[in-house]
Amino acid sequence: MLNFATLFDINYLSRGLALLESIKKHSSTNFRLFVLCLDQETKDFFSNNNYYPEVSTITLSEIETWNSELADAKSNRSIVEYYFTLSPALPLYILEKHSEIPHITTMDADILFFSDPNLIFKDFENHSIQITPHKFTKILFRLEKHGVYNVSFQSFKNDQHGINCLKWWMEKCIEWCYDRYEETRFADQKYLDQFEQLYPGKVRILDHKGAGVAPWNIDQYQISRKGESIYIDNEKLIYYHYHHFRQFNSSLFLTGLREYQAHNTSLKEMKIIYIPYIHALKAYDSNNSDSGIKRIKNASDKSLIKFIINNPSIFFYFNYYICFTFGLGKFGSIIYNIYAKIKKWRTS
């Protein structure tokens, strides 16, 4: 049995449900998904319906009661930085409360599985810790200073090394977890660079080409569809991380690809990767219109123009066959800044 954990609030509910359904669709074994509910609305959603028996919910108050230092840390950092601080606390809380669990895998809610997640754990047997490298494209190597590894998918066994690693990581995050770069630390992420040195021989680097695919590395792969499967070069895509994906309205999306200079990813490849996610999110948005992805409601023409000009990675989607991209990049930002200054001058 696989044990996963994630966290999200009501604005990410549709993403969390899409993640859950993708595991149900592709996992060859039973699984449980622990959800740390970041607000009462998310907790109420799962409490008030019986459609998700695989989900076990945890509240912020429960985890903060378990470790009072978390509540103290909450007062000296932003809410996003506090969520970063919870990265090691959530798996450690679960392993301490559920001693029967052999290992726990935490992951971001904006992930979608395309193949059996059990493939990821084939070579994990002789290790206690598993972490995911960014695998940056060459043009993005400079970003490795923020961390070789990405806190989006990591596993910890309920053994001495796994528990000690989580305790060390949580102690570090409670002490310092800010969204800024310093020489040896950045948010919750750069601490992972020390895992191999601290626990030699116990850390497995997730090297499957089909795992950890994301906007910062997709540009170096050939993406294709063969039957019902999607391939990254010649290996099956296991999951994709839709980092920076944003929805503006029912047809306008921000992929986040251009922010990571993924200029070589073709429209055909974008459709293979992104249309299944759009379909998944739309399914839950239509059923939970008050609890889907965060979006701008009733957008005016001016706000729509601002969105298009000021974002360099736009994805227009109408149906499976009609979609296209648009973006003005830095030039668009310059245009909008000039427009904003003129508007400010005229109203002053």
CATH of the domain at 36: 3.90.550.10
Q: Choose the weakest-confidence range: 25-29, 168-172, 257-261, 323-327.
A: 323-327
Closest CA to 326 of 250, 245, 257, 278: 257
Split at pLDDT 50, 70, 90, the class of 263 is confident
Nearest alpha-carbon partner for 114 in 232, 255, 251: 232
pLDDT digits (tens, 9 = 90+) for 142-201: 999 999 999 999 999 999 999 999 999 999 999 999 999 998 999 999 999 999 999 999
User: Are 179 and 254 members of one domain?
Assistant: no
Residue with token string 């540009």: 219
pLDDT band of residue 111 (cuts 50, 70, 90) is very high
Residues 204 and 212: their CA atoms lie apart, in Å, by 14
Q: Are residues 176 and 122 in the same domain?
A: yes
Same domain? For 48 and 186 the reply is yes
Q: In the prediction, which pLDDT does 298 show?
A: 39
240 falls within a domain: no
Residue 326 maps to a domain: yes
Q: Determine the Cα angle at 323 with ends 257 and 24, to 5°.
A: 70
Confirm whether 54 is domain-assigned. Answer: yes
Residue 259 and residue 141 share a domain: no
**Domain range holding 332?**
247-347
Examine residue 225 and state whether it is found in any structural domain, yes or no: no
Domain match, 286 and 151 both: no
Q: What are the structure tokens assigned to 168, written together?
A: 């060390």
Both 109 and 196 in one domain: the answer is yes
Q: Which residues of 136-158 are buried (b: 16+ CB within 10 A; e: fewer)?
A: bbeebeeeeebbbbbbbbbbbbb
Query: Both 271 and 200 in a single domain?
Result: no
Residue 199 lies in a domain: yes
Residue from 199, 124, 131, 121 nearest 165 by CA: 199
Helix (H, G, I), strand (E, B) or coil at 36: strand
Q: Please, where are the H alpha helices in 177-226? A: 195-198
- Tokens representing 344? 């400010």
pLDDT for the residue 2: 98
Last residue within a domain, chosen from 171, 190, 205: 205
Q: Among residues 205, 238, 271, which one ends one of the domains?
A: 205
Mean pLDDT of 122-145: 96
The pLDDT of residue 314 is 57
Say yes or no: 185 and 283 in one domain.
no
Distance CA 89, CA 55 (A): 19
241-251 average pLDDT score: 84
- Tell me which of 247 and 96 has the higher pLDDT: 96
| pTM score over 0.85 | yes
Let me know whether 260 and 336 are in one domain.
yes
How many structural domains are present in the chain?
2
Position 231 in a domain:
no
Report, as an integer, the average pLDDT of 234-262: 87
- Calpha distance 164→149 (Å, rounded): 19
**Same domain, yes or no: 147 and 54:** yes
Q: What tokens were used for 170? A: 């949580």
Please check whether residue 158 is in contact with residue 99, taking contact to mean a CB–CB distance below 8 angstroms: yes
Task: Please say if the pLDDT value at position 59 is more than 80.
Answer: yes
Residue 268 lies in a domain: yes
Extract the tokens encoding 128: 């206690």
Q: Residue 313: which pLDDT band, with cuts at 50, 70 and 90?
A: low
Q: Using an 8 Å Cβ cutoff, are 34 and 93 in contact?
A: no
Final residue before a domain boundary, out of 144, 171, 205: 205
Same domain, 54 and 155: yes
112 by DSSP, 3-state: which? strand
Q: Binning pLDDT at 50, 70 and 90, where does residue 325 land?
A: low
Beta strands 223-226 and 229-232 are antiparallel
| Helix (H), strand (E) at residue 149 | strand 149-157
Average pLDDT on 257-266 reads 85
pLDDT value at position 251?
Answer: 72
Element (H, E) at 90: helix 79-97
Distance CA 214, CA 218 (A): 6
Q: Which long-range contacts (CB under 8 A, 24 or more apart) does 180-187 make?
A: 181/145, 181/146, 186/145, 186/146, 186/147, 187/81, 187/84, 187/151
- The answer on 145 and 44 residing in a single domain is yes
